Amino acid sequence: MSEVVLFHHALGLTPGITGFADELRRAGHDVWTPDLFEGHVFDTLEKGIAHLEQIGFGAVLERGSLAVENLPSDLVYAGFSVGALPAQKLAQTRPGARGALLYYACVPVSEFSPTWPEGVPVQVHGMDADPFFAGEGDLDAARALVAATGQAELFLYPGDQHYFADRTLASYDAAASALLLERTLEFLQR
């Protein structure tokens, strides 16, 4: 059993995110789902991004750090899209991290520390034609991470959807989502 902190995407803490957390719980894992948007949930990516720009990426990172202050240190940090940023930061900088699961996003390791921490495995998941993941540098950062450490895995899925594992959205891809969940559960079992 793993203890996981799962950070939401730019639409907020949606039923799709809590549903994914429930899947991990059904497999026997403890999962926390902090609300980085303080109750705000959006029905379009444009509205979510506008809110994110209003509060700032720094606030999201700070809220992520505050959310884990009273949690154990030996956590797996997971995040979808913008939620991958606090997940990656905490995995790289908070002592005791057990692993990282980065869905639809990855930034260069140098954003948070000089190197990826030894002994902290990481998986990065994204679609190969996602305009955000593949088109804005996240895929390049994920490939660099894999090249820099033997503890990293990159999983690419065919398609162009960003939120492909959120079953409550039109972008949901059942086959890719099932494979992402399977790989996530295997990662958490290790």
The Cα 128–Cα 178 span in angstroms is 17
Structure confidence at residue 22 as a pLDDT band (50, 70, 90): very high
pLDDT tens-place string over residues 84-134: 999 999 999 999 999 999 999 999 999 999 999 999 999 999 999 999 999
pLDDT tens-place string over residues 35-63: 999 999 999 889 999 999 999 889 999 99
pLDDT of the residue at 1: 87
- What is the number of alpha carbons within 13 Å of residue 41 lying toward its C-beta? 9
Structure confidence at residue 149 as a pLDDT band (50, 70, 90): very high
pLDDT tens-place string over residues 156-189: 999 999 999 999 999 999 999 999 999 999 999 9
> Position of tokens 């700032």?
56
3-class SS at 15? helix
pLDDT of the residue at 128: 97
3-class SS at 109? helix
- What is the number of alpha carbons within 13 Å of residue 122 lying toward its C-beta? 34
- Specify whether the backbone of 137 is left (phi greater than 0), alpha (psi in -120 to 50) or beta: left
pLDDT of the residue at 60: 93
pLDDT of the residue at 111: 96
- Specify whether the backbone of 159 is left (phi greater than 0), alpha (psi in -120 to 50) or beta: left
* Termini Cα distance of the chain: 9
Question: At residue 24, does pLDDT exceed 90?
Answer: yes
The Cα 151–Cα 105 span in angstroms is 17
pLDDT of the residue at 53: 92
